Structure 1
């Protein structure tokens, strides 16, 4: 059995949560509560590229707000 997060031939989503944290997610697995699809279904590399482009601040949104950003 292969890891579903590492299968280059699978379709994926890029997800985001309320804290503006991103995740790669296999498209054939239910999206967890609290997460929304922002990109895909697409290939793994396309979803990872999306996440890299848009997740520019690794801090959770609540921490960024608390720090005045």
Structure 2
């Protein structure tokens, strides 16, 4: 039986945007600790909101170390 209090629906879970030293972006659950090597940005919200932000700002997918 499913637990109705468990937040597993992507529309219910809130996320934060994170970025690493190579300027690669990702999303991470808001309530989870940011993994080593990543830093939290001020942007947060639904999965779609966070991915929309990343789409706007991450215009060069190449890692920073190989950009000219």
Same fold (TM over 0.5): yes
Higher helix share: 1
**Superposition TM-score tier, normalisation by shorter sequence:** 0.7 to 0.9
TM-score by length of 2: 0.78
Q: Moved runs in structure 1, 4+ residues, more than 6 A?
A: none
After superposition, the CA RMSD in angstroms is 1.8
12, 20, 40: which one pairs with 2:43? 40
Aligned residues: 62
Larger Rg: 2
Q: Mind listing any 5+ residue stretches in structure 2 that lack a counterpart? A: 3-7
Q: Mind listing any 5+ residue stretches in structure 1 that lack a counterpart? A: none
